[in-house]
Amino acid sequence: MQLNFWKKLLAHKNNNGSIVTRPISKLIMSNSKNINGNFILFYLDIVNFSKFEQLLGLDTAKTVLKYVNNQIHSAFPQMMSLNNNELIIDRVMGDDFIVLCPNSKYQDSELQNIAITLSIALKENINKHCFTQTGWTFDIRVGFSLIVINSMKDLEHQLYVAFREAQKVAHGLLDHKKVGLLEEFKKILHTENVNAVFQPIVSLENGSTLGWEALTRGPIDGHFHSPAVLFSFAEEVDMLYPLERLCRKKAISAIGDLNSDQKLFLNINPGTISDPNFVSGETLKYIDVIGVKSNNIVFEITEHTDAANFPNFRKTLNHYRDQGYMVAVDDVGSGFSSLSTIALIRPDFLKMDMSLVQGISYDPVKKALMETIVIFAEKIGCKIIAEGIESETDLNTVMDLGVHYGQGYIFARPEYPKPNPEKKVVINILNTDLGGKRKFWRYTIPVSDIMEKCHTVGRRVLVKEVKEFFSSNPNEAGVVVLENNKPLGIVMKQDLYQELSTLYGMSLYLNKPIETIMDKRPLMVDSSDPIQVVSQMSMSRESSKLYDIIVITSHGEYAGILSVQTLLDAMTRIQLEYARRANPLTGLPGNKMIEDEINTRLSAGENFSLIYCDLNNFKSYNDKYGFEEGDRIILLTSRIIQHCVNKYDSKNSFVGHIGGDDFIVIVGCVAVEKICRRIIRLFDRIIPQRYDPLDRQHGCIQGKDRDGNDKCFPIIAISMAIIDCGDKGQASSLQDIVQLSAELKKYAKTFGKSVFTRDRRYKENQSRSAFK
């Protein structure tokens, strides 16, 4: 069915062998005021008529069609209680007919009965005539659709959609129960009765909020509340695109402020990219209204249909990329999200389907798939988002595998207004060893150490009293509203003055309680939260709240506040301290931080294993290949160690760089040997590739020893000494660790190859024979 038909019908009567009483435009204009724009479109189909035409010829078929047309024209006015001039009857193509008439009284259930009655009546009259003339009988299918026409602007499109709906009803693709639901669905679209909720997408490196995915919910307690039901029905009745347009509009208007680097993820079907309203810049119009830029928007391509089926899809997508929009592929690993789709779209983000994420911690196949996709993503320059993370074990696993971002109930459920991720999960991310490298804030200062005092007021204090306080105290930026020493909200001076400066601000609010205009959702943190965590949460706020005071509580009661300036000053000091203590080559914690780590663990009574790593024959390599290549070996070694630690024990591990070619690793006692074996396997496979082919073939290089004598030095190997620390180990102090590591390292170097040694003696046994 082509829209050209409607253009023809809108312009003039169709005299192609059919009866048309009035053009559509005149019919609608003459009846729209009386019937509030309500019309019915009927569709009639003669089943298997093409076969009849092939067997009996075109002339006989035309005669039958003319008779059918007359019967329709005779039956409808009587059945619908209308005059001929209130109807449009037309044969649109072949044996398909349409009837358009105004509707002032009929409901769905009545129209269903009318359609059935018409089908029976027409079939009886037509078959009685045709059987005597041709020996054939026909089945007549009748479908219908209700139309609400509010303007002539989109009339052609509305009629086409109605035709398709009526056609589906007639052919049994849309049953009578769904016809009733269709009216409810259309009402949802007409009244824009959907709501946007948002779920955060969180960086698994630093816990910051990348952005929010916009999700849709239908009317509460209605049939279409579930998004799965809402979108499935829309697709079934060919109304997915108008629903998506509405959802985009609602999401953009509800998202609120975004920081310059935060994103709003909007779900879009591939076919929507070719939708005329989408191409015409409707999304850009919406985001301009709320002050969001195109680079804040990510089009999340939902793969219910293959993107390759849509012509000019990539060309159109590139057009939006040129405007600054970003693109994500949703549900990678299910549906049509194949490698060919990824190659076609060239996305900025790959969103891994929850079926590949949930249970990944104990499924080796899922781990291998995820690890492969992470490597693939790095090669094509995009980022991975793991969807559906609900457990801490799955979160830790995807972090271990190098996934960039996460989304799921563990961070927050979809809500409005947009929620921030759970604080305890952010702390877990910040404290987790990403890439084997312990974050420098593991043992850092709590926010209570930099807490400030702030003026507080009760919730019933009048607005004018708070205004007077700010006038008398110009250096105060805000106040905290309390009840029974529990914080209810905050009032920032600039927000109060802005509210009162509106046209009726003074008269409306001045004598009202302060609770009427306070911010009821300020950032609140516990006094024990680390400064770095609070900093991440603070910087993830809406831009309009970025410099609001932060409320600090202790056991649920008000304790104080923190200004953003104080917070930033503290963060700067911490980062400078870390930079001062870190090794400048690898960026790993240096000697002082290593000592602090060991002493803190011993003081806390932890049992752990310490690995002292040292390179054999590094000096000879450095002498021949130069310091720059030597530094590359050091860096490569640090990455091998970090990778292996991350793979087997990222939760509570630490990697430090003493200096030169010496490293310290702290891990759990169970995983330590597995980590050492993995380090040796990778090291011995990768490091020889840094030698010239001839040296690699000989397995050594010529150089001079410390006494200046010529000597053949083997390829660099790694020696590792394992010391078990704590109550169950051999070392209970830093001095014990230094002594044992020196002894074990010396023993390991005697093997002349990559090896690890472990002292298995009990503390009371002073024998030195139990090396491995």
- Give the per-residue pLDDT at 770: 33
Report the alpha-carbon distance of residue 587 to residue 594 in Å, rounded: 13
For 414-464, how does the pLDDT look when each residue is reduced to its tens digit (9 = 90+)?
999 999 999 888 888 876 644 334 444 444 688 999 999 999 999 999 999
| Cα–Cα distance, 261 to 573 (Å, whole number) | 24
What band does 307 get if pLDDT is binned at 50, 70 and 90?
A: low
* Helix segments in 528-563, DSSP class H: 531-539
How far apart are alpha carbons 431 and 252 in whole angstroms? 34
β-bridge partners, 75 = none
Would the pLDDT of 749 be above 70? yes
Rounded Cα gap, residues 614 and 592, in angstroms: 19
- How confident is the model at residue 44, as a pLDDT? 93
pTM for the predicted model, two decimal places: 0.62
Compute the distance between CA of residue 400 and CA of residue 613 in angstroms, rounded to an integer: 22
pLDDT digits (tens, 9 = 90+) for 190-203: 899 999 999 999 99
Q: How far apart are CA 114 and CA 286, in angstroms?
A: 43
CB 27 within 8 A of CB 88: yes
Rounded to whole angstroms, the maximal C-alpha distance in the chain is 120
Q: Which of 712, 694, 693 is nearest to 702 (CA)?
A: 712
For the record, the structure tokens of 83 come out as 């005059």
pLDDT digits (tens, 9 = 90+) for 664-722: 999 988 889 999 999 999 999 999 999 999 888 888 898 777 777 788 899 999 999 99
pLDDT at 428: 80
Cα(254)–Cα(242) distance, integer angstroms: 18
Q: Percentage of residues in the chain with pLDDT exceeding 90? A: 38
Q: What SS3 class is residue 586?
A: coil
Q: State the pLDDT at residue 761.
A: 61
Q: What is the mean pLDDT of the chain?
A: 84
The phi, psi pair for 108, rounded to 5°, reads -55, -50
pLDDT of residue 438: 41
Q: Is the pLDDT of residue 514 over 80?
A: yes
Identify which has the larger pLDDT, 627 or 178.
627
Say if residues 677 and 754 touch (Cβ distance below 8 Å).
Answer: no
pLDDT tens for 581-615 read 888 888 889 998 899 889 988 988 889 999 999 99
DSSP 11: H
pLDDT at 772 over 70: no
Q: What share of the chain is helix, strand, coil (3-state, %, to 5)?
A: 45, 20, 30
Q: Is the pLDDT of residue 361 over 90?
A: no
CA atoms within 13 A on the CB side of 465: 15
Is pLDDT larger for residue 671 or for residue 180? 671
Distance CA 56, CA 65 (A): 13
Residues in CB range of 377: below 8 A, 6 or more apart: 350, 383, 384, 404
Residue 508's Cα: distance from chain center in Å?
A: 41
pLDDT of 572: 86
Q: What is the pLDDT of residue 30?
A: 55
Strand order in the sheet with 717-725: 654-659, 662-667, 608-616, 717-725, 755-758
Q: Encoding tokens for residue 584?
A: 């400048």
CA–CA separation, 329 vs 301, rounded Å? 5
State the Cα–Cα distance between residues 343 and 578, nearest whole angstrom: 42
Quote the pLDDT of residue 763. 44
Is residue 164 within 8 Å of 238, Cβ to Cβ? yes
C-alpha 286/C-alpha 467 separation (Å) is: 36
Please, what are the domains in the chain?
4-188 (3.30.70.270), 192-431 (3.20.20.450), 447-572 (3.10.580.10), 582-758 (3.30.70.270)
- Following CA atoms 433, 434, 437, 440 in sequence, which dihedral angle do they give, to the nearest 10 degrees? -70
Specify the DSSP element, H or E, that contains 478.
strand 478-483
**Pairwise CA distance, residues 89 & 41, whole Å:** 10
3-state class (DSSP) for residue 731:
strand
Given a cut of 90, is residue 633 above it in pLDDT? yes
Partners of 267 in beta bridges: 300
Higher-confidence position of 260 and 443: 260
pLDDT of residue 702: 83
Q: Is pLDDT of 566 > 80? A: yes
Cis peptide before 417 (omega within 30 of 0): yes
Comparing 126 with 708, which gets the higher pLDDT?
126
Q: Tokens 């496979």 appear where? A: 685
Higher pLDDT, 577 or 234: 234
Given this model, what pLDDT does residue 680 score?
Answer: 95
Q: Which two tokens stand for residue 551?
A: 């409320």
| C-alpha closest to that of 571 among 529, 531, 523, 530 | 531
Tokens of 517: 């205009």
User: What is the per-residue pLDDT for 437?
Assistant: 41
Mean pLDDT in residue range 463-469:
95
Cα separation, 166 vs 172, in Å, equals: 10
- The beta-strand segments (E) located in 585-699 are 608-616, 654-659, 662-667
Residues 6+ apart with CB under 8 A from 297: 263, 264, 266, 283, 287, 325, 326
Name the range with the highest mean pLDDT among 163-172, 219-228, 360-369, 450-459: 450-459
Q: What is the pLDDT of residue 469?
A: 96
Alpha helices in 487-626 (DSSP H): 493-500, 505-509, 531-539, 564-581, 591-603, 618-625
Task: Give which of 583, 582, 638, 577 is closest to 613, Cα–Cα.
Answer: 638
DSSP class per residue in 222-233: STT-SHHHHHHH
